[in-house]
């Protein structure tokens, strides 16, 4: 059994980590995003279906492509980041199950119903988006997740001709802002039951 992480690690992942809205101006190497993916990909998904698809926008030209679709309030803080990731989910994820779940050749048939495929892709793709945020923090990056954008426009721009749909986006880099005071969370008794 593994030991619990020490206090510094918990601070970095959760207790002191904050959503960031302004970014140090820097160019981070491609190896950063490859390493990030190679960590987050091991977060669990049902039947190992791994439906998330990630578009890392790291150049000015790449970032410009998403700018028109960002909501007004999100535009400046997103465009200033070294990287903007579009986190999508592939409704055709089942076609990759022969690679991802090779010990059960029947697995693709479990997702034939489009509604089941959609719920599975969205659920697991959202989990993978959360793994991205936590993997980024674990690797010393800050994250600024955002859902305020035109999903249909982003889908046309980045996922045309596919069955990938955008879920949310996430700015990545090193935060340069002073975050406002942390908003409260629900207490244990408000959010949890022990039965």
Ligand X SMILES: Cc1cc2nc3c(=O)[nH]c(=O)nc-3n(C[C@H](O)[C@H](O)[C@H](O)COP(=O)(O)O)c2cc1C
The residues of the shown chain that bind ligand X, judged by CB under 6 A, are 18-19, 74, 145-148, 168, 179, 182-183
Q: Which is nearer to ligand X, 81 or 97 (CB)?
A: 81
Instruction: Count CB-CB contacts under 10 A for residue 95.
Output: 11
Q: Which is nearer to ligand X, 104 or 147 (CB)?
A: 147
CB of 149 to ligand X, least distance (A): 7
Q: Which is nearer to ligand X, 101 or 142 (CB)?
A: 142
Q: Which is nearer to ligand X, 68 or 179 (CB)?
A: 179
**Closest among 44, 29, 60 to 130, alpha carbons compared:** 44
Q: Which is nearer to ligand X, 58 or 78 (CB)?
A: 78
- Say how far residue 59 (Cα) sits from the centre of its chain: 19
CB of 24 to ligand X, least distance (A): 17
CB of 86 to ligand X, least distance (A): 13
- Say how far residue 105 (Cα) sits from the centre of its chain: 29
Give helix then strand counts, H and E, for the chain.
Answer: 8, 4
CB of 78 to ligand X, least distance (A): 9
CB of 74 to ligand X, least distance (A): 5
**C-alpha to C-alpha distance for 129 and 124, rounded to whole angstroms:** 9
Contact 144, 17 (CB under 8 A): no
Which position's Cβ is nearest ligand X?
Answer: 148
* DSSP one-letter string for 119-165: HHHHHHHHHHHHHHHHHHHHTT-EEEEE--B-HHHHHHHHHTTSSEE
């Amino acid at each position: 059994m593994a030991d619990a992480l020490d206090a510094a690690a918990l601070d970095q992942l959760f207790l002191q980590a904050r959503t960031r809205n302004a970014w140090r101006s820097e160019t981070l190497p491609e190896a950063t995003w490859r390493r990030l993916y190679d960590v987050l990909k091991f977060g669990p998904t049902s039947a190992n279906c791994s439906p998330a698809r990630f578009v890392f926008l790291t150049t000015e030209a790449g970032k410009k492509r998403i700018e028109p679709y960002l909501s007004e309030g999100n535009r400046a803080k997103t465009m200033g980041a070294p990287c903007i990731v579009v986190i999508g989910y592939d409704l055709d994820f089942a076609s990759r199950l022969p690679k991802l779940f090779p010990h059960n050749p029947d697995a693709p048939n479990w997702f034939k119903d489009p509604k089941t495929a959609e719920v599975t892709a969205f659920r697991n793709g959202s989990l993978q988006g959360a793994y991205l945020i936590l993997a980024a923090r674990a690797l010393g990056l800050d994250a600024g997740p955002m859902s305020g954008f035109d999903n249909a426009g982003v889908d046309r721009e980045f996922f045309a001709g596919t069955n990938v749909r955008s879920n949310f986006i996430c700015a990545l880099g090193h935060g340069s802002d002073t975050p406002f005071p942390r908003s409260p969370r629900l207490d244990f008794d408000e959010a949890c039951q022990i039965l």
